[in-house]
Structure formats: C-alpha cells, structure tokens
Amino acid sequence: MHLLHQRGPLHDLPDTQEAYDAVLADVVEQALRRITPDGNLEHPDCHDDIGDTSLGITSLLALANQRTQDPRLSEAVLRSLRFHLRERVFTEDNPGYPNLKVRNSGLPYARYVLEAGAHPIGDWPSTVWALLQLVNVVEVGDRVLDDELRYELGELALGYWRWLTEATFFNPQEAGNQAIGCVVGGLMLARQLPGGEGKEVRERALSLYRDEIRAHRVRDRGALLPPEHGGAYDNNYGPISLSFLAQAHIVSGEDVFAEDGEALARYIDARLTNGGFDNGGPRYSEQHSAFESVLGLRYFGSRIGSDIGRYRGDSRWARHAVKPDGRVDGHFAWMLVWQIQDSTRWHRTPATGTVRHQLRAGAVSVAFDSKMTPSLIEADGTYYLPAAVNRQHGFGPVLDGFLFCRPMGEVRVRDVRAEGLTAKLVTKPVVGRDHVLRHIQSLYVTDGTTLWTTVAVERLDGEPYLLAGLPYAADEGDRVRRTAEGEVAAAGALRLTHPTGQGADRFDARSELTQQEAAFDLAADPRGYGNPDEGWGHLVTSTALEADPAPGAPENLHVFAVRYGPGEGEFTPAFETGEDGRTLTVRTEAFTAVIGDPAGDADAEPELTLRA
C-alpha cells in the first residue's frame, strides 16, 4: 500500500506565470459552470470548512479578471460577492461557541459549519480564512469593485478583524498557522484602511505577533518555533505557518518575519530527509499539506539557499484545494493568489554547510532529534523510524530491556568531510539502571549512497544488542509505499523482529496500519484532535532491526556496526584501540575512521579523523 498524503516533492511543480495562467483558466471554467443563480460558488459537497470557500473562488475569479480581462468574469465576481454578503456573514453568536470574550457583539464572523451550534469550535479559523479571502478580493478586484462596494467590503473585513481580536480569545486552538494567518489578515487590511485607522490595525497585528505568538515559541532541535496545536512542529501545519510568515514579510517588510521564517525553514531543512519524507506532529503525523506550503517553502528556500521544496506534498492539492471528485474547492484559495503574485522561484539544490541535527549527502540522510538520536534514517530510498522496546524509543544499545540513548549531560557532536565522505560523530553520556555513567559514541558515515553506523560503549555485562530502526516506508516512483524491510547488513548477527501479542501499542510493520493511524489510536483524544506524537509515545514495542555486537571488538568495548543501503560483499569491519586506549579505529570496505576520547582533547571535544 502507498502512504496516502506523501507524494511528489513540491518543488517539482512548475513555477512559471504560464503554468499559473493555466491553473487559473481551469478554475475559471469550473467556477462558471458551478455558479448558481444566487451567486454561490461552493462545491456542492462542501459541509465543513465552508465559511470562506465561495469567497475563495471569488478571489481567484477576481485575480483572473485582473490578469486576463475576460468579459465573463466581472458579473460572476459581483454576483458571488453579493451571495457572500447576503448568505455567509453571521452577526448573531453561534450557540455553544466557547471562546467568546464579548457576548452579542454584533460583529461579523464566518462559520465552520453553517448550521447553528453545529461544531462551532472551528469558527475562529474560518473567520481568519474569510478575512484573508476578503482582503485579497479587495486588492485584486480593482476592475470590478466600485467605491460603494469597496467600502462595504472594507467594513466587513474590519468587522472580521475586530471579532477575531476583540470579541474572542486570540488563537483559541493554540495553532500557530491560524494565529499567524490572522496577523497577516490584519497587516493586509491595514494597507486598505485610511491613515490612522490603518496604522492602528497594523500596530495591533504586530503586537499580537510579538506578544501572543513569538513570546510563546517552543524549542525543538535548537530552533524556536511557533507552537502548533500545543506542540513544536506539525508536518502538515508547520510549512503552512512558513507560508504565512512569508506573506507577513512580503506585506509588512518587518525583519522579524524574515528572521523567524528563516529559522523555521532551516529547522524544516534539518528534519527533512533527502527524499522529502517526514513524519510527526501534534495534530497530524503524515497528512502533508501541498499548495498551502508552496509559498513559504519557495520563498524561504531561496532565502536560506536550500532545497526545502523537496518536502513531499499531497499532489491532489498541488495547486488548490479539491474535493474527492477532483473539482476545485475555494478553501485556502488565498495561498494560490499569493503564489501567483510572488516572483520567487524554487531553489532546488541542497545547502552546503554542516548542520548539527542532520547528516545529508547524496541519497542518504539522517535527521536527529533534540537529544541527537536519529529520528529518521534514509538510505537507498528506504526510511527507518526509531524502533520501540519496552516503551522506549530510539536507536541505541539495549541490555535487559533498557535502551541506552537518553543523554545524562552534554551531547557533543563532531562533523567531518573528507575524500567524498561525510561523517558525524555523536558522543553521549548515558546512565543505565545500575546508575553507572557510560559514554556512547555513535559514528555515522556516508558516501551519498550507503550509510555506515558504528556504536561503541564500555563493555556491558550480559548480552546487549543494537536497536537499529524500524523499516517503515520506501520510495516507489513518485509515491511512498509501506514496507517492513530494507537492505541492511551488520557486523554481528542481524534480526528483524516483530511484536508478539495484540493491541494498538504493538506496531507490526507488516500490517497495513500507518504510523499516523497507530498514533491516533494511542492518542487521548479522537483523530484530528488528539496528539499523534504523544500517542506514538505510548507505543510499547514495534518491528525492529536488532544487531548483535561485532566480533573482534576490543575487550573493553561493545561495538555495533550496521550498514544501510547497498554495499560490496559481506560487511566485516575491523576495530582496534590505540596504545593509550583513548582511540578506536574503525576500518570498513569504504573508509577508515579514528574516534578519539573527548577526555583527550584540550577542549574536551570528541576527535574524529576520516579517510577513504
């Protein structure tokens, strides 16, 4: 089976104006066939996320009219605007809406679901989306709008803004993308309002960003990130936040949006595999966005000089939202408007610098979490997740059910490039159940095709093994398919084990259950509201690669060696320690590496030399 949402890299999308003209032309023809006598442009199957959808199509028609002056469009834009003003603007409180600060304010808002009291929790983001659609219509509708209608739309947009920032709690779902989107709406609205009024809205938008979003950023892997549904990063909504930061910088010119966008872009670059696969998040774990992410990935990829557009998106939403029948939906249409207006082109080559939380070369990549344990390994087009044993997750030595990968002290990293090889040495102090402090040194070396890992630790009593990952997915053309195997070799005996027993907390990679589905099964709340990262953390055991210690290791060490991806013949690395006992030499068919004890370095840093 293929993963549903992770398809082709987004930077494979053409970014020329001719390509966007073709997209707009298709939207126009669909919209003109769909529009009802009363001006409704909603998809007939639209039920939720509906408050902005007709208006979104209107904005695309207005943009097409601005670009092509198609004589059919002016009347359609005006008729659909009248429909929104008449049928989709609500001023009476929605029964059951929990986030009001002012009752019966009379301010306008948009509904997530049209029926009164039906799922009102989504009214806040729906109103953000409606505000963004509306300010886009005003900005691109110059050929259609007369002064009276322009004033009416401006008053409605100001009403939406006031409902979002005065009548309700700001950002009630703790969703960074929604909150930054609201700020963007305020910044765009401010440009359309007269002097003092516009300045007041702009200053309010900037203060909301500073005090309600930026001040509450969450740290992950050395970066400060806008919180998303209570977590640091979500692989569906995080890149959408990046798009909002791009638009905020384009609209306002404020350096803070560029700085925060570049920080988020570098974070995405570090966690993303070479092939664009990623997983994890507090709202969705594998449900990638698509056109909603393009603006941010393209804009900030160019600013940081890296190919973050390799991010795999859902190609069914490549240019705009669609329903299951493939027909256009107006939801999030402002992102397509902004993409067309922005002249940035895709940066399609990798950055060249070293990154603490990433090892990447050619078709091999390792993304590391905040504790410098691999969060995702990619080799030969196969993706390996951290495996689980006895409720512990990661890559590392295991003894009597205890996984040695959680640091107790400073984690030190050394990066080396030599003779076509790229390497990273990670040194961790860890404490076992016996309370003894041990140093684990993990060496990762790649030539861009194969990944070699060597893990050394002071000799353990008993029979340890290396937890070496959970084979989970593999590239197959322009799709990603589930898998339970990969091309892996080890110096010691290698096993692929599967959980025994039944239950959602035992993940068998041979099943058709995806990681996201399993994570939601284990989350505290229903799918779409629970935290899949937290749910996945409840996993007891999983399919796992287990490697025994390598033969021929020095007597005072347990050494584990695993090769991911293609290799020449049997994998038989050799190891020896230096005369002073402070170095470990590792020899494989591809390289020789010398790992130094950090105690022997003047700066207490681990030493690493490497040659092909």
Per-residue pLDDT band for 123 (boundaries 50, 70, 90) equals very high
Q: Are 358 and 367 in contact (CB under 8 A)?
A: yes
- Report residue 477's pLDDT band, with 50, 70 and 90 as the boundaries: confident
Number of neighbouring beta carbons within 10 Å of residue 58:
30
Confirm if 452 and 591 have CB atoms less than 8 A apart. Answer: yes
Q: Is the pLDDT of residue 579 over 90?
A: no
C-alpha 46/C-alpha 229 separation (Å) is 24
Asked if 565 contacts 487 with a C-beta cutoff of 8 angstroms, the reply is: yes
E-strand spans in 258-306?
Answer: none
Tens digit of each residue's pLDDT (9 = 90 or more) over 550-571:
999 999 999 999 999 998 889 9
The answer to whether 473 and 482 have CB atoms below 8 angstroms apart is: yes
Residue 598 binned pLDDT confidence (cut-offs 50, 70, 90): low
Q: How far apart are alpha carbons 365 and 380 in whole angstroms?
A: 10
pLDDT of 115 above 90: yes
| pLDDT reading at 276 higher than 90 | yes
Residue 601 has pLDDT above 70, yes or no: no
* pLDDT for 511 beyond 80: yes
Q: Is the pLDDT of residue 464 over 90?
A: yes
* Helix or strand holding residue 282 (H, E): none
Q: Where does residue 595 fall: left (phi above 0), alpha (psi -120 to 50 degrees), or beta otherwise?
A: beta
Cα–Cα distance measured from residue 44 to residue 31, given in angstroms and rounded to the nearest whole number:
12
pLDDT at 355 over 80: yes
The pLDDT-based confidence of 333 (bands split at 50, 70, 90) is very high
pLDDT value of position 499: 96
Average pLDDT estimate for 293-320: 97
What would the mean pLDDT of 200-216 be, rounded to a whole number? 98
In the prediction, which pLDDT does 317 show?
95
Nearest to 398 by CA among 462, 345, 333, 337: 462
Residue with tokens 């589905």: 517
Tokens 């020449």 label which residue?
568
Residue 601 φ/ψ region, left for φ over 0, alpha for ψ in the -120 to 50 degree band, beta for the rest: beta
User: What integer pLDDT is reported at residue 582 of this predicted model?
Assistant: 85
How, if at all, do strands 412-418 and 421-431 pair?
A: antiparallel
| 320 CB-near residues (< 8 Å, 6+ apart) | 23, 27, 60, 291, 328, 329, 332, 333, 336
Q: How many residues does the chain have?
A: 612
d(C-alpha 495, C-alpha 147), whole Å? 73
Average pLDDT of the residues in 467-494: 96
pLDDT of residue 600 exceeding 70, the answer is: no
Top-ranked range on mean pLDDT: pick from 385-389, 477-481, 510-514, 516-520: 385-389
How many helices (H) and strands (E) would you count in the chain?
13, 27
